[in-house]
Amino acid sequence: MPDQLIFAMEVTLNGLMAGVLYALVALGFVLIYKASGIFNYAQGVMALFAALTLVGIMEGQVPFSHLINAIFGTDLHHFNWSVPALGAILLTMAVMVFLAWAVNKIIFRHLVNQEPIILFMATIGLAYFMEGFGDMMWGSDIKKLDVGLPQGLNSMIDETTYGLLGYGFFIDNLDLVATVIAILLVSVLVMFSQYTKQGRAMRAVADDHQAALSVGVSLNFIWVMVWSLAGFVALVAGIMWGTKSGVQFSLSLIALKALPVLMLGGFTSIPGAIVGGLIIGVGEKLFEFLMGPIVGGATENWFAYVLALIFLVFRPQGLFGEKIIERV
């Protein structure tokens, strides 16, 4: 087999894995948009905030320690304990549920029936607030995140492909874990929305707020639930990306990777986020592999959007999005 073909196969596999990581971020956007019609600009910052909170709890960091020390002249930094990863994840989830409740109570409850652009602007404000709040709460230093996930070359795949093709493929163990988690997450979310009372209520709210209210569905409860689910997805994305790069404020920029995925997969489809992620991941990696050396490289960021735009021309609602027909 020609070397270039073997390399292309390796690139394709890695593209699929990268796509899964993009999809994990995109899922949070889809959940909120599906249930409330809000494009949540703060989703990337939620991933950052969740990861910061997780590391802070694991390391026993005193929240707002800089502020407390500045006001009271104390020298507090850490409690004398650390929390195991699983316990810290559960506690972080509790924080994200509280955040979901607070966001709805303080912001979105007052914006029911407002124009989508107003809701979008509110999420921009929320994003900047949370970035500053997270900074004040946990500090802005770069934190190592280790919840025990394996990372680095998968030796089994390396040796197997070397035996078969004479070249060992590189697949990151972390990407494999992310793939398994993404499959589980999507399966659970799809089953939840299809087969549970709350899931059906969520879909009813997504279809028509007023109609859902008229049959006794609590809009507040559904929104808090959806924002909590988005918070959970943000936590998962934060763990994956934070393990790769350390937990730092650039983590909020991963939202940029989710936008072409959403454009391609549709804003309202959970499976669409996964398929969109895979197409974007493979597309950008293969394009970089084939065309990068010719055009000088660094094609991935812009090519992802080009790919999404090409799909949009033929399916404006995205691959799996709902076609909206509004009658006057």
257 binds other proteins per the rule CB under 8 A: yes
250 near other proteins, rule: CB under 8 A: yes
Any contact of residue 246 with other proteins (CB under 8 A)?
yes
Structure tokens at 259: 């936008």
> How far, in Å, are 17, 37, 179 from residue 159 at the CA level?
19, 48, 21
Q: Of 194, 206, 41, nearest to 129 (Cα)?
A: 41
Nearest to other proteins of 172, 318 (CB atom): 172
> Residue 157 interacts with other proteins (CB under 8 A)?
no
Q: Distance between CA atoms of 31 and 49, rounded to whole angstroms? A: 18
Q: Does 141 bind other proteins (CB under 8 A)?
A: yes
Tokens 């969520």, residue located = 202
306 counts as binding other proteins under rule CB under 8 A: no
Q: What angle do CA 185, 191, 194 make, to 5 degrees?
A: 140
- Evaluate the CA torsion angle 194, 196, 200, 205 in order and state its sign: negative
Which value, in Å, is the radius of gyration of the alpha carbons in the chain? 21
Q: Provide, rounded to whole angstroms, the least separation between the CB of residue 93 and other proteins.
A: 23
Considering only residues 113, 148, 296, 323, which one is a binding residue for other proteins as defined by CB under 8 A?
Answer: 296
Contact pick of 187, 218, 245, 316 for other proteins (by CB under 8 A): 245
Q: Which stretch binds other proteins (CB under 8 A): 10-18, 182-190, 223-231, 314-322?
A: 10-18
Closest to 123 in 3D by CA, of 53, 220, 39, 47: 39
**70 vs 211, which CB is nearer to other proteins?**
70
Q: Assign residue 159 a region (left: φ > 0; alpha: ψ between -120 and 50; beta: otherwise).
A: alpha
Rounded Cα distance, 190 and 178, in Å? 18
**Beta-carbon contacts of residue 178 (< 8 Å; ≥ 6 apart):** 17, 20, 21, 24, 240
Q: How far is the CB of 248 from other proteins (least distance, A)?
A: 6
CB of 263 to other proteins, least distance (A): 18
Quick one: which segment of 32-40, 190-198, 225-233, 241-249 binds other proteins (CB under 8 A)? Answer: 241-249
Interface with other proteins, residue 79, by CB under 8 A: no
Of residues 73, 148, 163, 216, which one binds other proteins by CB under 8 A?
73
110 lies in the binding site for other proteins (CB under 8 A) = no
Taking the CA of residue 151 as centre, how many other CA atoms within 13 Å lie in the half-sphere pointing to its CB? Answer: 13
CB of 274 to other proteins, least distance (A): 18
CA nearest to 134, candidates 238, 227, 63, 44: 63
Interface region with other proteins, contact rule CB under 8 A, candidates 94-102, 145-153, 219-227, 231-239 = 145-153
CB of 285 to other proteins, least distance (A): 6
Q: Which two three-digit tokens encode residue 285? A: 């990696």
64 binds other proteins (CB under 8 A): no
The stretch near other proteins (CB under 8 A) out of 113-121, 144-152, 259-267, 311-319 is: 144-152
Residues recorded for the chain: 328
DSSP 8-state code for residue 110: G
Instruction: Please work out the total of residues on this chain that contact other proteins, with binding judged by CB under 8 A.
Output: 45
Asked whether the beta carbons of 318 and 262 are under 8 A apart, the reply is: yes
**Rule CB under 8 A: which residues touch other proteins?**
7, 10-11, 14, 17-18, 66, 69, 73, 77, 132, 135, 140-146, 151-153, 170, 172, 241, 244-246, 248-254, 257, 285, 288-289, 292, 296-298, 300-301
